[in-house]
Structure 1
Amino acid sequence: MTAAASELTIGQVCARTGLSVHTLRLYEREGLFAGEVRRDGRGRRVYSAWDVEWLEYCMRFRASGMPLATIRRFAELVRQGVGNEHIRLKLLREHRDVVVERIAELSACLEVIDFKVGVYEEHLAQGNAGDLWGPP
C-alpha cells in the first residue's frame, strides 16, 4: 500500500470514528494525539491508520470518564517515546480504579432499578391499579 493510499482525510476519519470535524480539530489543538497530525501539500490534515486507532483509544478513555487533561498527559508520554512506560501504567491504573468504582456504583443503581421493575411487573400482572409511589 502506498503512503497516499494509507492517508485518510478528515472526512474519512469522521466517518470511521463517528467524531465530528470540530472534535478532531479540538483533539489536535488540545494535544490529545499521540503524534503530530500531518498536513498534505495543500495544508489539509492527513491521518494514518495509527491516528484512527489512537482516536478509538481516546474515545474509550473519554467514555469511561477520563478527563481531557489526563488523556493529554498520556498522549504527551506516548510522544516522548520509550522510558516512561511506568508512568503511563500508573496513570492507566489510577483511571482503572476510578472506572471500577463507577461500575460498582452503577451496579448498585441497577439493583434498585431491577427491584422496582420487578415490583411494577408484579403489581401490573396482578391487575392492581394505582401509583406505587404516591401516598396511600
Structure 2
Amino acid sequence: MTDGIPIGGICDPRFEPVREAFIGNFRERGEPGAAIALMIDGRLVCDLWGGFRDAARESPWARETLVNFFSVGKAFTALVALRLVERWRLARLLRSRRPRRLRLCHQRHGPPLAKPAQQGADRGDL
C-alpha cells in the first residue's frame, strides 16, 4: 500500500521509472484504478495493479479485475502503421486507389470483398 492506495505486483528494478509513473497516476492525477503489464522477449518484466475498482474506493483493484476497452483499435492501427513504415510497406498502401481519407481511418471497416456477399453467406463463401 502506498499513501493509502493499494498497489500490487512485480516490477524489475530496470523498470522502476514505470512503477514510479504508475504510482504517480494515483497520487497526482487521481487515477481510481489501473493495471499495466510489460513483456520483453517473452519475459514478464512489469506486472502492476493498484487503486480501486469502484467509485466508493472500497474494493481494491486486483490482478484479475476486468475492464472495458474503448477506442483501442486506434492504438493498434497506429502500431501496425509504424511496423509497416519500419518495413517500408506503408508507401504502397498509401498509393492505393482507396480514397486517401479512408486509408488509415477507423471508418475503413476492413478489406474489400473479392465478390459481393449474398444474403446468408458466411466467411467460407466469400
Instruction: Determine which structure has greater relative contact order: mean sequence separation of CA pairs < 8 Å that are 6+ residues apart, divided by chain length.
Output: 1
Larger Rg: 1
Larger proportion of helix: 1
Higher strand share: 2
TM-score by length of 1: 0.29
